[in-house]
Structure 1
Amino acid sequence: MDSFLDKNFQVLLGFLLIFSFGILHGANDLVIMKKSTLIKHPNSILKSIGSYLMVVLIGILVFFFFPQIALFLFIIVSAYHFGEQQWQILQNYFSKWLVYVFQLLYGLILLLLLFTIHSKEVEKIILNITNSIIPGHNFKTLLYFFGIVFICLTSYFYWKTKRIRKKIHLEIFHLLIFAIIFKSSSLIWGFAIYFILWHSIPSIIDQVKYIEGNFSIKHFITYCKSAWIYWFISIIGMIILYSIFKDKHLFNALFFSFLAAITFPHVIVITHMFIKKNTQKNRAISDSVGISKK
């Protein structure tokens, strides 16, 4: 597709994918909150919506008034979120804090790989958002540093547990695929391919399984029906921002502040969902073991 699609069309298609499946995968957070007992009583739903919107508003304000800090937090939170989606299997074998560190590390490797390959373009985006210059070679230095730590931790996991070795082989292969995709694609198109195929769609499948008990086309349609209003509001918001600020550098800051603002509460909700799933799974295993002993 990279060979046949014009670069401008790649950017357009990338944004279309991000604004469709990308936004959709975070549009059902309130349903997940209710399922995860983050909303414990029907009367508390307005309070939960208010808290969710408050986090979004704080994210926008921090990004607008303290862009350097907000961008740093956005990258860290996004990196952890990406790693969390890919490496849930580790929760069964290692301490939670070691898993958190590894998940963050994996996400940082992924993002730094993208930033290093498209360093010039990323430099311009950061400059427009923060009015600060970060030389592209810094991305490469960080990639090497975190890459060494990643190799060390991965080797430890590989030596420690045979059951996750196939997963390690697969994810290392994926990193090679990402490097090829990022190298041959534009910044937005390369990111969109990863974000949709490896993150958003798998996340939607996990969310549907959590909400409905299993994944099916019928349950996916139900998921879309419950999410469409939040998705629609998000899209309208982006259209309004673009129509007002499309010819100004301010739009870049507003665009990323919007993405960051909806990312922060989404990551909290999904992390709680995974914790709840693992707790239920462990409880089911314990119950089955207890029955077997009896």
Structure 2
Amino acid sequence: MTNSNNFGIVISFFGLWITTYFSIEYQQTIGFAIIFLFGILHGSNDLKLISKINQGETATIGKKILLYYIIFVFFGVVLFYVLPKIALILFLIVSAYHFGEQHWNILNTKKASKTVIAFQTTYGLFILTLLFNFHQEEVRKIIGQIINVPITSVNFSYCLIVIGVLLFVTGLLLVRKNPIFSKEIMVNIVYLILFGIIFRNANLIWAFAIYFVVWHSLPSIKEQIYFLYGEYSLKNFVQYFKSAFAYWILSLIGILLLYVLFKDQEIFKALFFSFLAAITFPHTLVIMKMQSINKNNV
């Protein structure tokens, strides 16, 4: 168990404690606040990562990459407007893989294994579905607003069972092939139990914020700092924050505009998650490339 995971457990229990003393409205407000502060921040340094990944490229190619990144974000926004069902499915799959890859990056090797990729994606889907299962009515409402179609017939409990079986099967395949995975099984079962307790007792936004920030964003920031500067330290975190600041502020301004325009409407949550999706697509590709370089350096 790493120090980061020990920290995650302590903060998660603190987050669980907050659910017993703060109303749903306060939980939601705190949840949005830490997502804005750290969740958005962890994806705000993609351009710096791209620069590091392509450090041998010319300035002209660097500008092209920046243009492609902006186009990719714009494409995500348009896709949610034109084909919301397809966009939502892609968002869930991409996010699931992104969560699973981060959580199980110890499985990454030079040669990408289809079994590892399948397991990481299924793990991420299980986390998302576990969250949805405890907030079914609210999640149905948000998804319905995103795709403009009511989904009252969807039962996330059944989805959780199916994905749980797939997770078990892919896990069994890894047990036979990967000794590192075998050593991590029991502690990660404990993590899943902890996530389930948090998801069940916390407001949807607060529950998502605890996992997204504590178990995904903060470890990702640490990993990115190692990649960019060679070691994790306060000084390097400050450098990371400075290089991410402009993009982070622009993202916050975009979300703030959504809040000002739609704060009194239920559709704000749908727009918020659609906004996250638009910036998640290119971010996931950047992190995949970073992970690929890290694998080659193993």
Tell me whether 165-174 or 239-248 shows the greater mean CA deviation: 239-248
C-alpha contact (below 8 Å) 2:80/2:87 kept by paired residues:
yes
Query: Take 2:200 and 2:171, find their aligned partners in 1: how far apart are those partners?
Result: 24
Letter in 1 for 2:297: Q
Letter in 1 for 2:33: L
Query: Take 1:151 and 1:135, find their aligned partners in 2: how far apart are those partners?
Result: 28
Tell me whether 179-188 or 133-142 shows the greater mean CA deviation: 133-142
Equivalent runs, 1:85-100 vs 2, <5 Å: 85-92=102-109, 95-100=112-117
Tell me whether 199-208 or 2-11 shows the greater mean CA deviation: 2-11
Is 2:237 aligned against 1:220? yes
C-alpha contact (below 8 Å) 1:62/1:70 kept by paired residues:
yes
**Structure-1 residue corresponding to 2:133:** 116
Q: TM-score if structure 1 supplies the norm length?
A: 0.90
Tell me whether 40-49 or 68-77 shows the greater mean CA deviation: 40-49
Is 2:296 aligned against 1:279? yes
Query: Take 1:273 and 1:250, find their aligned partners in 2: how far apart are those partners?
Result: 35
**Structure-2 residue corresponding to 1:148:** 165
Aligned-residue CA RMSD (Å): 1.8
C-alpha contact (below 8 Å) 1:119/1:136 kept by paired residues:
no
* Alpha-carbon distance, 1:132 to partner: 1.8
Letter in 1 for 2:156: F
Runs (5+) with no aligned partner, structure 2: 1-17
* Alpha-carbon distance, 1:251 to partner: 3.8
C-alpha contact (below 8 Å) 2:97/2:124 kept by paired residues:
yes
* Alpha-carbon distance, 1:51 to partner: 0.6
Letter in 2 for 1:276: I
C-alpha contact (below 8 Å) 2:31/2:209 kept by paired residues:
yes
Runs (5+) with no aligned partner, structure 1: 282-294
Q: Which of 12, 15, 35 matches 1:18?
A: 35
Query: Take 1:272 and 1:95, find their aligned partners in 2: how far apart are those partners?
Result: 12
C-alpha contact (below 8 Å) 1:64/1:254 kept by paired residues:
no
Which structure's CA Rg is the greater one? 1
**Structure-2 residue corresponding to 1:291:** none
- CA 1:136–1:194: 2 relative to 1, 3 Å: farther
**Structure-1 residue corresponding to 2:3:** none
- CA 1:43–1:100: 2 relative to 1, 3 Å: same
Query: Take 1:175 and 1:16, find their aligned partners in 2: how far apart are those partners?
Result: 24
**Structure-1 residue corresponding to 2:96:** 79
Q: Which of 194, 204, 212 matches 1:177?
A: 194
Letter in 2 for 1:268: L
Query: Take 2:122 and 2:42, find their aligned partners in 1: how far apart are those partners?
Result: 23
Q: Which of 81, 103, 119 matches 1:102?
A: 119
Tell me whether 61-70 or 101-110 shows the greater mean CA deviation: 61-70
Identity of aligned residues (%): 43
Equivalent runs, 1:1-294 vs 2, <5 Å: 1-37=18-54, 40-92=57-109, 95-135=112-152, 138-248=155-265, 251-281=268-298
Query: Take 2:105 and 2:67, find their aligned partners in 1: how far apart are those partners?
Result: 30
Deviations 1:244-276 (A, max 9, x none): 233445544432221111000000000010001
